[in-house]
Amino acid sequence: MMNAPVQVIPVDFERQRAVCAALRAFMPEHNVLFDREDVTPYECDGLSAYRQVPMVVALPENEEQVCAVLETCYEMRVPVVARGAGTGLSGGALPLGNGVLLSLAKLMKIIAIDPLARTARVQPGVRNLFISEAAAPMGLYYAPDPSSQIACSIGGNVAENSGGVHCLKYGLTVHNILRLRVATIEGEIIELGGGGLDAAGYDLLALMTGSEGLLGVITEITVKLLPRPECAQVVLAAFDDVATAGQAVANVIAAGIIPAGMEMMDQPAILAVEPFVNAGYPTDVAGILLCESDGTREEVADEISRIERIMEQSGAHIVRTSRDEAERLKFWAGRKAAFPAVGRLSPDYYCIDGTIPRKRLAEVLRSIAMMGKKYDLRCANVFHAGDGNLHPLILYDANEPGQLERTEAFGADILRLCIDVGGTITGEHGVGVEKIDSMCLQFSTTELEAFHALKHAFDEHGLLNPGKAVPTLRRCAEFGRMHVHSGAEKFPELPRF
């Protein structure tokens, strides 16, 4: 969690002109932006608390231009931040005032769909939902479905290893991709992964997935496609106590059921969503669970019956099952609209993304409620209950002095709690700038040195998305987490942020 605003770097106009001239040597003039009114729209991603106007924005139209941008920046030693649709929630695409913002928005083609192999080759700027829409006539779809899937790009999904409401059964992005084409900082293309189940050498495909733009820039993705289920139904269960609802989650999993999706919302989230979407949620309850089953009609009928019984035995006083596809989609529309709906309750909100063991869900929710009283801030909870991925939404007003600082402290305490109960500081949103200090709590000096060694192997001058995801040991020492032995660090040539 950041403890201070991002440093504002004044523009070096001579440097800016030189970089623009170098980029315009191989790209159309209108694809290289530097005027203040043109670059300001790129000053932040979905995390709006921190902003920085980039020195230059590059908008390549193909892979060759991406490579040329990176090669130019490498030769001129200019930092580069890759950006997709800008829907990120950890400040991972926050630009630098002395660097190039490399937008991949123009690389938005579906290159090929192979219905027999059940794969799609796509460029990084393709929207997540568009892949499923394009594959629908073949009876196929792409499983990972972040709440922002209508807008988020597949390249950003890979960079952050995004999940979604159906990740419990079908996995995160890393489980649903086969091959990547990646441009290195030197402007060279490498291919990772393949069509088989295994390959010789290190699993660099998994390493690149979730690397937050620190190791390379993704230019093409081959994703897995799945057959659309014959049938799907959702059970909506309402509880008078969120701890009881949390126990119901554990009871479903303990029964050997792996739902297609299992989501939970507490009352503040429900009260925000229902007037916004009219999803049919009861509003006089402490929390609801949405639990979906998909497969053949026989499989779904059996599993739904078991889920209904478990919910009732776990203390749900309302158990309702979607009667048709329209109602099923309506139930999910409420959950997927939770973030924008909560935005109606407060001028600002801060989305936390931590993951905990499912068995600790009830106690963690109680602790978050106590923290809200401590910091005098409201908090709505929306999360992927099945895999323990929490999304507490802390409501605040940035115009009120001290509220942002209290919000940051509240968020940092939630992440510390996730670590303390055996979890982690991120489930799908990445670290970016928002949670970089919390990395000092989760990882040891030796582990962070290993991360920096990997970074150095791919990007020896630290030009790709510097200052994100992995803190320097010096930063952790200043944060009070660890001591830098002998006053020195490995890889001293990497930037200090």
Q: 477: part of which helix (H) or strand (E)?
A: helix 473-479
> Is 312 part of any domain?
yes
**Has residue 27 got a pLDDT over 80?**
yes
Residues 315 and 237 grouped into a single domain: yes
Q: Is 86 left (phi over 0), alpha (psi -120 to 50) or beta?
A: left
**Has residue 339 got a pLDDT over 70?**
yes
Final residue of a domain: which of 227, 249, 276? 227
pLDDT over 70 for what percent of the chain? 94
Residues 219 and 235 grouped into a single domain: no
Q: What is the pLDDT of residues 197-225, one digit of tens each?
A: 777 889 999 999 999 999 999 999 999 99
Residues 409 and 449 grouped into a single domain: no
Residues 120 and 204 grouped into a single domain: yes
Considering only residues 200 and 388, tell me which one the structure prediction assigns the higher pLDDT.
Answer: 388
CATH number for the domain including 54?
3.30.43.10
> Is 3 part of any domain?
no
Final residue of a domain: which of 419, 437, 455? 437
- pTM over 0.95, yes/no: no
Q: How many domains does the chain fold into?
A: 5
What pLDDT shows up at residue 3?
39
**Has residue 121 got a pLDDT over 60?**
yes
Cα torsion 311, 313, 315, 320: sign:
positive
Long-range pairs, 132-135, Cβ under 8 A, ≥24: 134/110, 135/225
**Has residue 488 got a pLDDT over 50?**
no
What pLDDT shows up at residue 94?
94
> Is 494 part of any domain?
no
According to DSSP, residue 215 is labeled S
Using CA atoms, how far residue 90 sits from 143, 206, 354, in Å, is 23, 20, 12
Which structure tokens are listed for 467? 């200052």
**Has residue 233 got a pLDDT over 80?**
yes
384 class by beta-carbon count within 10 Å (0-12 exposed, 13-18 middle, 19+ buried): buried
CATH number for the domain including 363?
3.30.70.2740
**Has residue 155 got a pLDDT over 50?**
yes
Instruction: Compute the average pLDDT of residues 124-142.
Output: 98
Q: What is the pLDDT of residues 274-331, one digit of tens each?
A: 999 999 999 999 999 999 999 999 999 999 999 999 999 999 999 999 999 999 999 9
> Is 497 part of any domain?
no
Residues 81 and 23 grouped into a single domain: yes
> Is 6 part of any domain?
no
Q: CB of 459 within 8 A of CB of 470?
A: no
Residues 457 and 418 grouped into a single domain: no
Residues 47 and 140 grouped into a single domain: no
Residues 384 and 430 grouped into a single domain: yes
Final residue of a domain: which of 313, 339, 365? 339
Residues 335 and 266 grouped into a single domain: yes
Residues 297 and 320 grouped into a single domain: yes
Q: CB of 67 within 8 A of CB of 188?
A: yes
Looking at every residue in the chain, the average pLDDT score rounds to 92
Residues 247 and 310 grouped into a single domain: yes
Q: State the residue range of the domain holding 384.
A: 346-437
Rounded to 5 degrees, φ, ψ at 86 are: 80, 20
Residues 95 and 127 grouped into a single domain: no
Q: What is the pLDDT of residues 318-331, one digit of tens each?
A: 999 999 999 999 99
> Is 8 part of any domain?
no
Q: CB of 126 within 8 A of CB of 156?
A: no
CATH number for the domain including 279?
3.30.70.2190
> Is 181 part of any domain?
yes
> Is 492 part of any domain?
no
CATH number for the domain including 210?
3.30.465.10
What pLDDT shows up at residue 7?
53
